[in-house]
Amino acid sequence: QILLWLDCDPGHDDALAIILAAFNSHVKFLGISTASGNQTAAKTTANAISILESIGKKHDIPVVMGASKPLLRKRQNSPEIHGESGLDGTSLLPKCDKVLYAKAQERKAIDVMAQTILAQDRKVVLVATGAMTNIALLVSVYPEVVEKVEMFTFMGGASFGPGNVSATAEFNIYIDPEAAQICMQAGFQHVAMIPLDVTHTVLVTDNIIDRIRREVGEKNKTFAQMICELMVFFRDTYERVFDFHDGPPLHDPLAVFYAITHKQNKLAFKEKLMRVDVECGNGLCVGQTVCDIWGNSSTEEKNCYVTLSVDVDKFWDSMIEALVSGGAS
């Protein structure tokens, strides 16, 4: 079993990343840390707890609230994509449990992360689906954690194609580029990047929404309805903001899917090891993940498996299976 910690900012696609990790038999889900990203840290924390409640796991998977702002830059959130709550579009999401919300703030996230990771008898997998602020702080304050992480996968960046907040930068990296660069330089044993180039091939099409309604609805109509409403909201914002007509890209669960498939040797991604650095200046390319694909622009060690493509059908089969289990629980 993979020992997995998820750092996220739910977020419509983060919510599905949580569900994928929570219902995969190969995963032991150690906990969730949240940060400012799609919405404020207060809201993403509440959303994480609500999602866990909707799948009957709120007492099984601890949530800790992390960074409320990036390391150096001003906080930026994304209400135009995820709404005012960070998870707009449905009235079926359970209200956040107040006791668990208070508990999420009792201790610093990096203390809980370090303690949990270091206490395991095996190495863990760290997955990031938001800005990397918490992880940058974690490896800075507790560098001994790096050794204990066998794989760090993240959804973020754009390898060869365009960004989604600027011509070159993707949101998770753009809002805290310094944190991302700290993580790229941290010395993790295996780093895998799931960039927009890959996530934009995994769309929540009308067919997928029908599948969710049918297959998940068979177990639990209300839960299926909630997921469909969230996906429809996400679809509509992507259509409005990005002119996407075939459905929104379901970015974040792919970072979990990479960890699951890779650890079982069921390779579902094509990838290439290369040097990746993050542009931390203030010019046009701030937040760009600079991927040295030909190995001719950096003398630094190759530090990242950049994924190039994914088996989309395999992903959806796993995702829908997890949603069905979520509905049944």
Binding site for ligand BDR (CB under 6 A): 11, 13-14, 38, 78, 81, 129-130, 155, 164, 170-172, 251-252
Looking at beta carbons only, is 13 or 97 nearer to Ca ion? 13
User: What is the distance between the alpha carbons of residues 148 and 151, in angstroms, rounded to a whole number?
Assistant: 9
* Residue 88 near which of Ca ion, ligand BDR, none (CB within 5-8 Å, type-dependent): none
* Residue 170 near which of ligand BDR, Ca ion, none (CB within 5-8 Å, type-dependent): ligand BDR
Looking at beta carbons only, is 14 or 88 nearer to Ca ion? 14
Distances (CA, A) of 64 to 23, 110, 261, 303: 20, 9, 26, 29
Looking at beta carbons only, is 28 or 69 nearer to ligand BDR? 69
CB atoms within 10 A of CB 103: 15
Exposure string of 77-86, with b = 16+ CB inside 10 Å and e = fewer, is: bbeebbbebb
Looking at beta carbons only, is 16 or 110 nearer to ligand BDR? 16
CB of 144 to ligand BDR, least distance (A): 28
Which residue in 73, 70, 96, 72 sits closest to 10, CA to CA?
A: 96
Amino acid occupying residue 222:
T
User: What is the distance between the alpha carbons of residues 319 and 90, in angstroms, rounded to a whole number?
Assistant: 20
Q: Which of 12, 59, 82, 251 is catalytic?
A: 251
* Residue 47 near which of Ca ion, ligand BDR, none (CB within 5-8 Å, type-dependent): none
CB atoms within 10 A of CB 316: 19
Looking at beta carbons only, is 33 or 220 nearer to ligand BDR? 33
CB of 172 to Ca ion, least distance (A): 6
- Residue 46 · residue 70 · CB < 8 Å: no
Exposure string of 91-100, with b = 16+ CB inside 10 Å and e = fewer, is: eebeebbeeb
DSSP state string for 121-170: SS-EEEEE-S-SHHHHHHHHH-GGGGGGEEEEEEE---SSS--SSSSS--
Residue numbers of the site for Ca ion (CB under 5 A)?
A: 9, 11, 14, 129-130, 252
CB of 17 to ligand BDR, least distance (A): 8
* Residue 33 near which of Ca ion, ligand BDR, none (CB within 5-8 Å, type-dependent): none
CB of 297 to Ca ion, least distance (A): 29
Which residue in 252, 201, 247 sits closest to 228, CA to CA?
A: 247
Looking at beta carbons only, is 197 or 252 nearer to ligand BDR? 252
DSSP 272: E
Query: Which residue shows structure tokens 């991927």?
Result: 291
* Residue 81 near which of Ca ion, ligand BDR, none (CB within 5-8 Å, type-dependent): ligand BDR
Amino acid occupying residue 18:
I
Whether residue 251 lies in the annotated active site: yes
Tokens describing residue 57: 């796991």
Which residue in 179, 166, 86 sits closest to 131, CA to CA?
A: 179
* Residue 171 near which of ligand BDR, Ca ion, none (CB within 5-8 Å, type-dependent): ligand BDR
CB of 78 to ligand BDR, least distance (A): 5
CB of 294 to ligand BDR, least distance (A): 26
Query: Which residue shows structure tokens 């994914």?
Result: 310
**What positions carry a catalytic annotation?**
251
